[in-house]
Amino acid sequence: LRSIDRCTVKKVVQTGPEFVIEVVDNLDADAQGLLMPVADTSTYIPGKDLPLEQTIANMSGILAGLGMKIEIASWRNIVPNVWSLHVRDAQSPMCFTNGKGATKEAALASALGEFIERLNCNFFYNDQFWGEELANAPFVHYPNEQWFKPGPRDALPAEILDEHCLEIYNPDGELRGSHLYDTNSGNTARGICSLPFVRQSDQQVVYFPSNLIENLFLSNGMSAGNTLAEAQVQCLSEIFERAVKREILEGELCLPDVP
């Protein structure tokens, strides 16, 4: 009750919201209808390169091509024009995402996009040890990963991060190479698993330890879109969201009431 009292939507909660929850027992249920493209309907959102219906069809096709059957588990519509839903892999329900939007279609597109983003960065199994076979495979995370061994006295390899990143992640010089070993493989003998990122100011490649990404960011900054430009805008938007959240928490700012 104390949490509700602090909530910006407490008036809505106190008046007894009605949850529209549709439980799915099988993939042929009516809840799956939105996963099928509708040829005569096109809903455009400003800033998006394809209509929602086509976006949903494209992402559903990508996931189906990977052998994944996505099911819609539940819907929620607490206030008008605010929809959210829960989608999951039918064979592995712990692989799930949530989506939100002004309409059912927008919320579903949001959830499917998030699902693809999490697949791209191995989010679903981030906390797991992947076993000896993967630990000794040609690559653990991505084919273009590189492994760098710590220097003398456990120093950071010169090949990872750049000066700007070191100022952020190692301001006091306390970060050691052994702190950055990949935990999914646990193969310390290979060194530090690092992934190539392109510095946008000059297009230079900067290698980030996978350990650093998994511990601090996960899927934050990972984006999916109908085009590269759309994905880049989505990615930058996520980064701005986190920056705003940091300002709110560090500044102890009070959020305004939502009408």
Residue type, 228: L
Query: Hey, is 241 helix, strand or coil?
Result: helix
DSSP structure string for 166-230? HHHH-TTS---GGGG--TTT--GGG-EEEEEEEETTTTEEEEEEHHHHHHHTTTTT----SSHHH
Counting Cβ atoms within 10 Å, is residue 66 exposed (0-12), middle (13-18) or buried (19+)? exposed
**Mean per-residue pLDDT pooled into runs of 10, the chain (259 residues):** 45 49 49 57 84 92 92 89 93 93 93 94 90 95 96 96 95 96 95 95 96 89 90 91 93 84
Could you tell me the domains of the chain?
Answer: 8-126 (3.30.160.20), 132-216 (no CATH)
Residue 255 DSSP code: P
Its pTM stands at 0.79
